[in-house]
Amino acid sequence: MRPSRREWLRVGLHAAVAPAIMIPQARAYDIGEIEAKLAKGNGIDGVTKDDLPTPSLLLDLDAFEANVQRMASHSAEAELELRPHAKTHKCSEIAKRQVGAGALGVCVATIREAEAMAAAGIGGLLLTSESVGLNKIHRLIRLCERRPDTMAVVDHIDNARQLDEAARASGVRLNVLIDVDPLGRRTGVPPGSKAVSLAEAVDRLSGLRLRGVHGYCGASSHVKGFAERKAHSAKYMAPVLESHAAMLKKGLPVEIMSGASTGTYNIDSDLKGMTELQVGSYALMDVDYRAIGGRGGDTYDDFRPALHVLATVISKNHDDIATVDAGLKAFATDRDFGPEVARPTGLTYAFRGDEHGALMLADSEREIVLGDKIELVVPHCDPNVNLYDRMYCVRGDHVQQVWEIDARGHV
Amino acid sequence: MRPSRREWLRVGLHAAVAPAIMIPQARAYDIGEIEAKLAKGNGIDGVTKDDLPTPSLLLDLDAFEANVQRMASHSAEAELELRPHAKTHKCSEIAKRQVGAGALGVCVATIREAEAMAAAGIGGLLLTSESVGLNKIHRLIRLCERRPDTMAVVDHIDNARQLDEAARASGVRLNVLIDVDPLGRRTGVPPGSKAVSLAEAVDRLSGLRLRGVHGYCGASSHVKGFAERKAHSAKYMAPVLESHAAMLKKGLPVEIMSGASTGTYNIDSDLKGMTELQVGSYALMDVDYRAIGGRGGDTYDDFRPALHVLATVISKNHDDIATVDAGLKAFATDRDFGPEVARPTGLTYAFRGDEHGALMLADSEREIVLGDKIELVVPHCDPNVNLYDRMYCVRGDHVQQVWEIDARGHV
């Protein structure tokens, strides 16, 4: 019997002389070969994690499916629509599964994401960033020609007039939500009379169809502690919801009130007036969200970490440190903390440059050798996915599918 | 005469009512259209920066070409070989121009980069990270079959034996450099007797061909102040160079001594024993390198910032702040500082989430309106390039070419 790849590596590495065992050449695949194998189905020659190039992105299908199902159940119980944010995953295969579990469609943050989702057959798109400048406006209008149910947001009358003109010139009517700022001063018209006036003005533009209000309070999403987060969201969302109520009172057709994050999904669903949730990170999860605390205590375990980076130990010349092939280009680095080692347990990770990371072994009793595979939970899922072209979908050690991250790229 | 796009935007945005001027629809291009136009050459219908989607990556060709020429001249004058590091740009079009200016080939940090460079016809590849694990080893050996001049690095005898076995099994002889650690404990065998012993052991393996020493002192590259940087590099490179000299003394065929960074190019070229430079960032430059200080003083202006992110102002509801469409996904965030606004001058930038950034206007006398284009120097060029699929090459406002970042992707 041939030794397994892992056995071969161990034998090879610890032998005093070069091992006589032949390297099982057929098991080292490049991307094209892996995709060709997977396209043929999973037979005895199936691909396992050990066969994958590193660093690469793994999606744990069991965890992912549980996450999608849990949010779908929550929305159904809360009697709210669900339009998950695809900015998190940029992957139409994930969007298809979210829609399959009952979502209306997906939110997107860029026109590029919208185009990719539409190309993959996903409808019910809500573009949650303002479309300003000729390039964005024209691409949005073209998308509406193909997908008339597409919705956009506006926060300024000048932009609304441009969108109106472009829509009329193309003979389409663009669905819009008024983007109302929960006082984060990032995007959005200030709540109150300014928001209501903008809604009235938009309602008078024949190329636009006013549909509702968009109010995303990013500042609430990561407030630590359930009670603190609930109080934060209630405070900052109140002016948005009051603006929405004032528009309704004036008879404006604002049937949609969209908001909420993975941190506030079971908080904002209790807010009066909310009609749909635009949660994103729940499908994948990350170190950042795991730390915010849940309804039951310090651990936020409503959703399971489904996204990992697979790395290989490529240098081991010291007892207290090993170097892996995943560094600043393999992880999002916008948080104060790095990735957490999920497998094997008991190790900590530190960045060591563009292509390298260090495993700190001083307090570890585990033996780490050249070629060992390491799985790490990503610090912040959205920008981490954005670094990769594909994710390998696994159940246990078995790679079942490869999903293209088809909506990534900044243009 | 039709108004220019910019005039149209200004008129449109400041008019009290919707402007009667038709939007010049033909000027809003998606990626495919821009690439098709550029493939046809630059006529009267040429593409300008204003036509581009945002956020996108711009390469200022005048600055880039000056940088490539300056480093080529330096190497020639110093009588050193130049093998620039392609980990910075991951772009075979850039590599071709570096080779065209006299480089031997390029260094690469990943087997993926090596494969992409080879596919584009670039030879003289030096893979500067250890190839551990079956996937990397077999892909390296396959690359050697196609490109026998490829070189790899080793820092451990177990890995050397695996490479030797794989090379012999495929009937190739793999060129290797001993990766000697300038005591950064990231990769590399410790200098001194361990390094010399590894070189002797490698020299006895018939599947490998010992060629020299690789010694990269990343810790020196960004030491502020020319004199301080020079002292730092001299101190940490000394044990590497002594190890190399000891190998030469033993008659080992170590004709190559490769090292240096953009920060130490004109420091390490004076180190006795150095034979080639593996500088990377000089071609593109970034905020980080601009701050290290040059031979002449506090400003490091040996090379010009050639890489910019182009962004659009998409929200303007406050006097003191404007929001652009470039955020955490548009810039590398591994440094303590963000991007710097190059055009228009007098503005500062702050991150505002995955897709947004803020321009702080409190101290600015410049009027900023919706649709304004902003160009920003990237904080750290290597991981910033890695976020994009293509760069738009410009001279002044004119887009001349689109270069694919064909070696990106982590697998």
Task: With respect to residue B292, please indicate whether it lies within any of the assigned structural domains.
Answer: no
Residue numbers in A near B169 (CB within 8 A): 22-23, 25
Average pLDDT in the A95-113 region? 97
**Residues 333-352 (B) with a CB less than 8 A from some CB of A:** 333-334, 351-352
The reply to whether B295 falls in a domain is no
Same domain as A67, residue A41 = no
Contact A285, A303 (CB under 8 A): yes
Task: Look at residue A38 in the predicted model and tell me its pLDDT.
Answer: 62
B21 has a pLDDT exceeding 50? no
How many Cβ contacts (< 8 angstroms) between chains A and B?
280
Question: Per the structure, how many domains does chain B have?
Answer: 2
Alpha-carbon distance values, B107 to B82, B150, B299 (Å): 10, 10, 28
Q: Please give the residue that has the higher pLDDT: either A175 or B49.
A: A175
B99 pLDDT higher than 50: yes
Q: Is the dihedral of CA A47, A49, A51, A56 positive or negative?
A: positive
- Domain's final residue, options B285, B310, B329: B285
Contacts with B, A 148-177, CB within 8 Å: 155-156, 158-159, 161-162, 164-166, 169
More confident residue, B308 or A20: B308
Residues 297 through 316 of chain B touching chain A, CB cutoff 8 Å: 312-316
Q: Do B23 and A54 touch (CB under 8 A)?
A: no
pLDDT at A364: 82
Query: What mean pLDDT do residues A158-187 have?
Result: 96
What pLDDT, on a 0 to 100 scale, did the predictor assign at position B219?
Answer: 94
Is it the case that residue A30 has pLDDT exceeding 70?
A: no
pLDDT score for B297:
87
Are the beta carbons of A30 and B139 separated by less than 8 Å?
A: yes
Query: Are A134 and B5 a contacting pair at CB < 8 A?
Result: yes
Checking if the pLDDT of A411 tops 60, the result is: no
Q: How far apart are CA A142 and CA A241, in angstroms?
A: 32
Q: What is the mean pLDDT of chain A?
A: 90
Q: Give the minimum alpha-carbon distance from B88 to chain A in angstroms, rounded to a whole number.
A: 10
Does the pLDDT value for residue B44 go beyond 80? Answer: no
> Both B73 and B44 in a single domain?
no
Considering only CA atoms, which of A198, A177, A157 is closest in space to residue A107? A177
pLDDT in tens, B381-402: 999 999 999 999 999 999 988 9
Looking at the predicted structure, is the pLDDT value of residue A26 above 50?
no
At residue B2, does pLDDT exceed 60? no
DSSP 8-state assignment for residue B49: G
Give the ipTM of the model, two decimals please.
Answer: 0.90
> How do B174-179 and B151-154 pair as beta strands?
parallel
Residue A20, domain member (yes or no): no
Mean predicted lDDT score pLDDT of chain B: 90
- Name which of A82-91, B145-154, B296-305 the model is least confident about: B296-305
Supply the CATH number for residue A255's domain: 3.20.20.10
- Determine, yes or no, domain membership for B294: no
Give the contacts of A389 (CB within 8 A, at least 6 positions apart).
A404, A405, A408, B409, B410, B411
Shared domain check, B124 and B41: no
Q: Could you tell me if B279 and B85 are in contact, meaning their C-beta atoms sit under 8 angstroms apart?
A: yes
Residue B29: is its pLDDT beyond 70? no
The pLDDT value recorded for residue B4 is 44
CA atoms within 13 A on the CB side of B350: 10
**Could you tell me if A40 and A156 lie in one domain?**
no
- If you measure CA to CA, which chain A residue comes closest to B392? A411
Residue A344 has pLDDT above 70, yes or no: yes
Put simply, whether B10 touches A (Cβ < 8 Å) is no
Render pLDDT for B347-378 as a digit per residue (tens, 0 to 9).
999 999 999 999 999 888 889 999 999 999 99
* Close Cβ partners of B187 (under 8 Å, ≥ 6 residues apart): A314, A315, A323, A356, B129, B130, B153, B155, B179, B181
The CATH number of the domain holding residue A36 is 2.40.37.20
Residue A293 lies in a domain: no
Residue B40 belongs to some domain of the structure? yes
Torsion, Cα of A305, A309, A314, A320 (10° steps):
-30
Q: What is the pLDDT of residue B23?
A: 39
Same domain, residue pair B280 and B324: no
**Is A100 found in the same domain as A118?**
yes
Across the interface, whether the CB atoms of B134 and A109 are under 8 A apart is answered: no
Check if the beta carbon of residue A205 is closer than 8 Å to that of residue A161.
yes
Residues A225 and A83 placed together within one structural domain of the fold: yes
Q: Are strands B357-360 and B321-324 parallel, antiparallel or unpaired?
A: antiparallel
User: Contact, B264 vs B233, CB < 8 A?
Assistant: yes
Which segments within B255-294 are labelled E, that is strand?
Answer: 256-259, 276-277
Of residues A203 and B15, the one with the higher pLDDT is A203
Residue B327 and residue B228 share a domain: no
Structure confidence by residue, pLDDT tens digits, A152-165: 999 999 999 999 99
Q: Which of A80, A64, A5, A106 is nearest to A373 (CA)?
A: A5
Q: What is the pTM of this model?
A: 0.92
Of B133, B169, B313, the CB nearest to A54: B133
Q: Are A127 and A189 in a shared domain?
A: yes
Range of the structural domain that residue B331 is part of: 5-14+26-59+302-404
Last residue of a domain, one of A230, A253, A285: A285
Whether chain A has a CB inside 8 Å of the CB on B181: the answer is yes
Q: Do B314 and A187 touch (CB under 8 A)?
A: yes
Kindly state the DSSP code that residue A323 receives in the 8-state scheme. Answer: E
The mean pLDDT value for B233-238 works out to: 97
Residues of A in contact with B166 (CB under 8 A): 23
* Dihedrals phi, psi of A301, to nearest 5 degrees: -120, 25
> Are B312 and A138 an interchain contact pair (Cβ–Cβ within 8 Å)?
no
For chain B, positions 239-298, list CB contacts with chain A under 8 A. none
Domain final residue pick, A222, A256, A285? A285
B19–A165 C-beta distance less than 8 A:
yes
Chain B interface, best mutation among A17, A47, A134, by max B CB count within 10 A: A134
Phi, psi of B338 (to 5 degrees): -100, -165
Residues A75 and A36 placed together within one structural domain of the fold: no
Using an 8 Å CB-CB cutoff, list chain A residues near B129: 314, 325, 355-356
Closest CA to A106 of A89, A88, A126: A126
B229 lies in the same domain as B378:
no
Is there a contact between A109 and A87 (Cβ–Cβ < 8 Å)?
A: yes
The yes-or-no verdict on residue A14 having pLDDT over 90 is: no
A218 vs B31, B353, B410: nearest CB = B353
What residues in A contact B133, CB-CB < 8 Å? 9, 54, 312, 314, 371, 373
Cβ–Cβ < 8 Å for A123, A149: yes
- Residue A291 is predicted with a pLDDT of 94
Work out the average pLDDT over A228-254.
98
In this prediction, residue A6 has a pLDDT band, given cuts at 50, 70 and 90, of very low
In this predicted structure, the answer to whether residue B183 has a pLDDT above a threshold of 50 is yes
Assess if residue B388 is contained within a domain. yes
Query: In the predicted model, what is the mean pLDDT of residues B39-47?
Result: 58
Cβ neighbors of B128 (< 8 A, separation 6 or more) are: B85, B87, B107, B108, B109, B153, B179, B214, B216, B278
Q: How far apart are CA A52 and CA B131, in angstroms?
A: 14
Structure tokens at A252: 């404006």
Mean pLDDT over residues B202-207, rounded?
A: 98
Residue A320 maps to a domain: yes
CA of B134, closest CA in chain A: separation in Å?
Answer: 6
Q: Nearest residue of A to residue B18 by CA position?
A: A161
SS3 call for B192: coil
Q: How far is CA A51 from CA A37, A203, A308, A345, in A?
A: 12, 57, 16, 21
Percent of chain B with pLDDT over 70: 89
Residue B58 CB contacts under 8 Å (≥ 6 apart), including other chains:
B49, B307, B308, B309, B310, B375, B391, B392, B393, B394
Most confident region among B5-19, B33-47, B98-112 by mean pLDDT: B98-112
Do B167 and B254 lie in one domain? The reply is: yes
Q: How far apart are the C-alpha atoms of A136 and B347, rounded to whole Å?
A: 24
